[in-house]
Every structure is written in structure tokens, then in C-alpha cells.
């Protein structure tokens, strides 16, 4: 009976410690410099040279997301990594969700650049290079 009780307690502890939220991958944590964005209805491409803007993203290991535009903090929120169906290929993929309103799928290129894709039609796909 004692073994059964200990086994039951262990199972309860294991099951209650699980979470749907995924810890931010080490590859994502750090600062990222904007290279380009393509999308919208017209499929337009924007770069820092065209817009005159610098955009820096920061992802921390304690799940804080910051977006700086021209050195001004524009977004500062907690983010989580979730798994959801992508509108692009209908596959389950890791996505960044910021306070429940911003959802972007992400991937990395062979060179290590970060690719963020807005998960809505006519959204933008943006490329960033690691700063740190």
C-alpha cells in the first residue's frame, strides 16, 4: 500500500509539473538586427535603406520580448513559445505569442538568421541577423 501511495504521489507531481508552454530555444535568445521584410497585399519588400528605420528585436531567456525602432522601445511584453497550425503549410509549428495578441512563426536559415512570419494573410515575413 505504501508503494502504491508513493507511486500515485510521484505521478501526480510529474503530471502537474508539465506545461503546454515551451521554453524559449537558446537559438532565439539574444538581440536581432532587421535585414528586410516582404509581404502585404502588394508583396512589397522593405529594408533599412528604403525606410530609414533600424529595428532591433530582443528575446530574453526569461521570456521578455522587446522591439526597438530607431532606438525607441515600441513593444515590451512577455512572450511564450506555443505550437499551433501555420496558415502557410497547415503544419504544427513553433510560434512566438506575445501577450496573446501577436503570433508569428519562426525559423532559422542555414546562416543562422532569424525568419519571422506573421500568422495572418497579407502579413509580412521578416529576416533578422544576430547581433550578440
Predicted local confidence at residue 107, as pLDDT: 84
Predicted local confidence at residue 109, as pLDDT: 85
Structural domains of the chain, ranges and CATH numbers in brackets = 21-130 (2.40.128)
From the list 25, 26, 32, the residue with the least C-alpha distance to 131 is 32
C-alpha dist (Å) from residue 37 to 15, 19, 92? 42, 33, 23
Predicted local confidence at residue 120, as pLDDT: 86
Predicted structure pTM score: 0.78
Predicted local confidence at residue 103, as pLDDT: 84
Alpha-carbon distance of 34 to 69, in angstroms, equals 10
pLDDT in tens, 19-63: 445 566 788 999 999 999 999 999 999 999 999 999 999 999 999
Amino acid at each position: 500500500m505504501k508503494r502504491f501511495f508513493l507511486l500515485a504521489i510521484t505521478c501526480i507531481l510529474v503530471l502537474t509539473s508539465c506545461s503546454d508552454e515551451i521554453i524559449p530555444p537558446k537559438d532565439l535568445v539574444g538581440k536581432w538586427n532587421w535585414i528586410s521584410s516582404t509581404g502585404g497585399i502588394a508583396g512589397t519588400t522593405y529594408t533599412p535603406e528604403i525606410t530609414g528605420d533600424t529595428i532591433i528585436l530582443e528575446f530574453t531567456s526569461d521570456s521578455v520580448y522587446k522591439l526597438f525602432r530607431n532606438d525607441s522601445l515600441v513593444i515590451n511584453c512577455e512572450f511564450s513559445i506555443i505550437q499551433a497550425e501555420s496558415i502557410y503549410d497547415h503544419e504544427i509549428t513553433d510560434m512566438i505569442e506575445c501577450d496573446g495578441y501577436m503570433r508569428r512563426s519562426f525559423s532559422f536559415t542555414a546562416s543562422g538568421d532569424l525568419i519571422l512570419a506573421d500568422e495572418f494573410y497579407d502579413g509580412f515575413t521578416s529576416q533578422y541577423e544576430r547581433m550578440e
